[in-house]
A and B are shown apart, each in its own frame.
Chain A
C-alpha cells in the first residue's frame, strides 16, 4: 500500500535519512522504532510532503508522494497525525475536527465519521466546545487522531502518539490504535516506546542514525537480543 525506496533526506549538510526502504501492506500495523534523533519523524515528513527528499521514491497506492503537494496527499486517503499532536490550540475541539474534514464536502458522511470519532473518543464529545489548547496532553492526542480520522483515511501515519502521556493513557491510546486497525485502517506507527509499539504491530523496522538496521516480524523483533538491549531495557 505504502512503499518507500532508497529515500535520502538532508538537512543542509546533514544526511538525516540514509537510503531508507520500507513497505506497509494493506491492513497492517507497521511500527518504525528507534531512539530520539534516529530519523523517524523525518521519514514521516518526507512521506507526507512536509520535507523534500533529495533522492529515492515514495508511493502510496498509485500516487507518487514526492510529486504530490503536501495538501493533496490527504485526498489520496493517507492522513498524518504529527508529532506533538499539533492541534489548533486557539480553535475549539469541534473546529479542529471540522478542519480534519476540510477536504470532504459530503456533510452526511462527515456526520457519520464524527459519530464514529466520538464513539472512539467520548471525551472529545464532552469537550467539543472547549479550546483545543485547554485540553490535557492525552485529550489533545485523541483530538489529533480524531482530526485525522475525519478525513476518512485508509491509512494513518502516527508519529509518537505516546509521547508525554502517563502509562495509563499510553495503554489507552495503543488500544485505540489497535481498534482503528480492526476497523480496517492501515497504520504506520512511529514510536520511541518500542515495546508497546512492537507489541501491537504486525511487522517492525528499527531505525538507527538514519538507517534501517533491523526489520521483520514484530514478535520476532521483540525477542531479538539487539533490540532488547538497545530499546527494551535489557
Chain B
C-alpha cells in the first residue's frame, strides 16, 4: 500500500513537472532557446493566485484564470523585450539573458511581495469535510489535490497534442519549429508564432504554479527555481522539443524523486534524479523520445 501511495504521489509531482516541462520544450522547439525564466513565471503565477484568492477573496477557479491571464501577458512581454531583440544573436547571449531574466523576476517578486513565506491555500476544496479519498478501508489516502493535478495534466496534454496536430495554427507551429525560412515562404508569421508559444507555455506555468503550491503550500520568490530546473531536466530526459517526451520525462522524474525520497534517502533525492538524467543522456543523448536530427544535403 505504501508503494501505491508513493507511486501516486510520484505521478502527481511528475504531472507538475510535465506541465512545466511543456513550456520549456515548446519554446525550445519553436525558438530554439532555453527559457530559464520559465520556472519563475510559475512563481509569479502562484503569487497572483494567492493574492486573488486570499486577499481579494476571489473564488479559486477565478484566481487560477486570472493568474493564467497575467502569466500569458508576462510571457509575451518577456519574449518581446528580452529575447526578440536577440533573434539573430549567438545562443549563448540568449541563454545568459534568460538566466538574467530569471533573477530579475525573483528579485522583483522579493521587492514586491517580500521574501517572507506566504502560506498558500490549496485551490482544490474539500468534499464532505474530507481533503482526500480514502481507499481500501482507509489504508490508502489520496488527496484531492493529487487527483486533480493528475487529471489536469492529462487534459492539458490531450488538448496540446490535438492543437498541434489538428489545427492549422498548431501545424504552423510545427512548421516553424522545423524550418523558419520555409514557414515564412508559406506566409506564416514567425514572430506571432513565437509569441503564441510563449503565451501557451506561460499560461501552463501559471497552472503548474497553482498546483505546485496547492500540494506544497510554502510560497517564496524562489519557489519556481528548483521545480523549473527539475522540469527542464524532465524535458531533456524525455527529449527536448517533444511534447509526449515532456509528459514521460516529467512523470518519470516525479516517480524517481518520490521513490528516492521514500526508499533511499531524502537528502540525496535530487542527486539521484540528476544521476538518472546523466545515465539516460549517456545512453540516449537525444533523450527518451528525442528525434535524431539528421541533416539533409
Contact = CB atoms under 8 A, between A and B. Distances in A.
Interface of A: 48-50, 69-72, 74-75, 79-80, 82, 84, 86-91, 95, 98-100, 102-103, 147-148, 151
A99 B296 contact: no
A79 B174 contact: no
A48 B185 contact: yes
A75 B184 CA distance: 11
Interface in B133-187: 168, 171-172, 174-175, 178-179, 181-187
Given A49-B184, A50-B184, A99 B172 contact: yes
Given A84-B296, A102-B172, A90 B178 contact: yes
Given A95-B171, A98-B171, A71 B178 contact: no
A89 B296 contact: yes
A70 B178 contact: no
Contact of A86 (B168, B172, B181): B181
Contacts of B291: 90
Contacts, number: 67
A102 B178 contact: no
Given A86-B181, A90-B178, A90-B291, A71 B171 contact: no
A102 B168 contact: yes
A95 B167 CA distance: 11
A99 B184 contact: no
Given A102-B168, A102-B172, A88 B182 contact: yes
Nearest to B190: A71
B181 A71 contact: no
B218 interface: no
Contacts of A70: 184-185
A91 B174 CA distance: 8
Contact of A102 (B187, B190, B296): B187
14 contacts: A50-B181, A50-B185, A69-B189, A70-B185, A71-B183, A71-B184, A82-B185, A88-B174, A90-B291, A91-B174, A99-B172, A99-B175, A100-B186, A102-B188
Interface in B14-29: none
Contacts of A151: 186-187
Residue of B185, B186, B187 most packed against chain A (CB within 10 A): B185
